[in-house]
Amino acid sequence: MSETKKTEEEKMQDFIAQLAVQIASVSKNTKAVGVIPSKFKGEKKTARKFISSLQLYIKNNSETYDTEEKKLGLAYSLCDESAAEWIQPYIDRQNFGEEQICLAKYKAKIRKAKDKLKALKTAETGADSDSEASENEEEEEDFASSNLINEINTFNDFATLFKETWTSAQPAAEARNTIDKMSQGKDSLVDYTTKFMLVAADTGYSDLDLQKDTEEDSIGLSEKF
């Protein structure tokens, strides 16, 4: 049992390493805009900041991350510790789904050949009712295999699932708390404003409320307007 678990963990590490190599090769001749977010280790208090920063980074580097595969590759590589354990089943399910689709297509070809053979046999000797039930069961199994759902197909799928899993059940209250504690730090004005607006969208505040906050404390900016 422990050996199987170790093998799965090793596969996960190999997968992450491969993603890192792919991302590095893609980014080699491209100047990145901003900084890649620190790895998310499953701490809910940092979840909203992580996903907002990741969305912003991908948006600012859209030429580099121009496919869903690249976006998901980056997102998966930044999941660590308990977050890596959380995402692993979805990665496995996605890979398993692709294998099952190929298997289902192969079985469909075999079934077509069986149907032709059965038609010839029926024409000669009559219907074979004994084998009909087992063949129906096989068809149902193949149908189920060919219709597996990959729950994460796009980066937006990942972001939605991430928020459902790791962010607060009271997003408005958490967003307001985050807004109160936000500061520009070393971010550029554009990056910080974008982060602020991403969080502000979940606060439930009106534009007028946000404007008042801006006037009162300059929303955590390094320099006052």
User: Of 116, 146, 176, which residue sits at a domain end?
Assistant: 146
- The domain tally of the chain equals 2
Range of the domain at 130: 97-146
User: Of 112, 146, 180, which residue sits at a domain end?
Assistant: 146
Task: Categorise residue 35: left if φ over 0, alpha if ψ from -120 to 50, beta otherwise.
Answer: beta
User: Of 85, 115, 146, which residue sits at a domain end?
Assistant: 146
Does the residue 200 lie in any domain? yes
Residue type, 106: Y
Q: Supply 11's token pair.
A: 């596969």
Does the residue 130 lie in any domain? yes
Check whether residue 140 and residue 106 sit in a common domain.
yes
Does the residue 138 lie in any domain? yes
Check whether residue 182 and residue 214 sit in a common domain.
yes
Q: Do residues 167 and 44 lie in contact, with contact meaning Cβ atoms separated by under 8 Å? A: yes
pLDDT digits (tens, 9 = 90+) for 79-95: 999 999 999 888 877 76
Backbone phi, then psi, for 42, in 5-degree steps?
Answer: 95, 15
Does the residue 92 lie in any domain? no
pLDDT digits (tens, 9 = 90+) for 46-74: 898 899 999 999 999 999 999 999 999 99
- pLDDT category of residue 76 using cuts at 50, 70 and 90: very high
Tell me how far apart the alpha carbons of residues 167 and 163 are, in angstroms, rounded to a whole number. 5
pLDDT for 147: 41
Tell me how far apart the alpha carbons of residues 43 and 5 are, in angstroms, rounded to a whole number. 24
Does the residue 1 lie in any domain? no
| Averaged confidence pLDDT in the chain | 73
Average pLDDT over residues 3-26: 64
Does the residue 88 lie in any domain? no
Sign of the alpha-carbon torsion through 195, 199, 204, 209: negative
CA atoms within 13 A on the CB side of 205: 22
Average pLDDT over residues 203-222: 59
| 77: pLDDT strictly greater than 80 | yes
pTM: 0.51
